[in-house]
Chain A
Amino acid sequence: QKEVEQDPGPLSVPEGAIVSLNCTYSNSAFQYFMWYRQYSRKGPELLMYTYSSGNKEDGRFTAQVDKSSKYISLFIRDSQPSDSATYLCAMSRGGGADGLTFGKGTHLIIQP
């Protein structure tokens, strides 16, 4: 079993829909959870950063972490065509980014 599992998609939804992106993981020692957005042939940019379980909201984006289920989610409300990108989840035990484990990314397409 891989440490971090993420459905590669593509996930195609109409503009204005609520998008749900998810990752599951197997290492119960992970404490820090991140979501990165990557446009084609660009570097990833950090969207959300969460420590331990709970929710975090930033504008149209909400990150949820359920450590008991080893499951994290990113919700995008009122999705826009500009949200079309690959979304990577990442997580670590703490102590530095050299311990980050990335998911393979989900390719999201928002249809105008």
Chain B
Amino acid sequence: DGGITQSPKYLFRKEGQNVTLSCEQNLNHDAMYWYRQDPGQGLRLIYYSQIVNDFQKGDIAEGYSVSREKKESFPLTVTSAQKNPTAFYLCASSGVGVTNEKLFFGSGTQLSVL
């Protein structure tokens, strides 16, 4: 089945630790995105990538890093500089052209601080 796979479903971070969230897609989409969702806050864009080996900061990039070495993969690292990392993280992808506003989302990763 085509889709976006996020792992793990739940992740716990100790203070001062970096953690990496995985996102893989087999939709052959060029663009991929990371969003953060907090209760009552809606979705906020962290980073996005429109092509391999290139990515741009979104609205709340501080304390996060990404890489895009393969078209299918867009991992997100939550660094120790992110002081409030507890949130639900969503990865998404989209095609190009007239449908490039249509996002397809993964099932999310809940990150909590120990």
Contact = CB atoms under 8 A, between A and B. Distances in A.
Q: Which of A34, A94, A96, A99 neighbours the largest number of chain B CB atoms within 10 Å of its CB?
A: A96
Nearest to B107: A43
Contacts of B101: 32, 34, 49, 92, 94, 96-97, 99-100
B41 interface: yes
Contact of A43 (B48, B56, B90, B94): B90
A104 B105 contact: no
A4 to B, nearest CB: 8
Given A43-B108, A102-B43, A105-B42, A96 B90 contact: no
A42 interface: yes
Given A34-B101, A34-B102, A41-B88, A97 B110 contact: no
The prevalent SS among residues of B at the interface is: strand
A42 B33 CA distance: 16
B103 A97 contact: yes
Contacts of B94: 96-97
Interface of B: 4, 6, 31, 33, 40-43, 45, 48, 50, 56, 58, 88, 90, 92, 94, 100-108, 110
